[in-house]
Amino acid sequence: MSKDIAVDFEIQIKRLAGMHQMGEGYQETKNAINAALMNLSQSIGSDASERVNTWSKLHNSLKNSLIVSADPLRVNAIRFAISRVQTYKKNAVVANSRVLHIKKNNNG
């Protein structure tokens, strides 16, 4: 499931970047990206490892989509999305490590 949802949101972010490339304001694009990422965060669920996997997949796919020859406006929007995804990913990793620590202590 996480792969499908990560792909869906990658496409959505690329569309938003394309809209910015075609003249949409940067602040509006950033707001739309933030809204999409908050929607994804709510859609993933609360399983910490699933959250880490989903954010990691989205982060990697967005990084791979940066093309040096792409329009600078599009690149800026995707870079903004990457920075936001990285924050979500780091939070998920911290939450996952806490869950694993708690499980380890309860089993030990």
What is the separation of C-alpha 38 from the centre of its chain, rounded to a whole number of angstroms? Answer: 9
- Residue pair 30/80 in contact by the 8 Å Cβ criterion: yes
- Residue pair 32/16 in contact by the 8 Å Cβ criterion: yes
pTM for the full predicted model: 0.84
Tens digit of each residue's pLDDT, the chain (108 residues)? 445 899 999 999 999 999 999 999 999 999 999 999 999 999 998 888 899 999 999 999 999 988 766 789 999 999 999 999 999 999 999 988 877 667 667 765
Among 54, 61, 39, 62, residue whose Cα is nearest residue 89? 54
DSSP 1: -
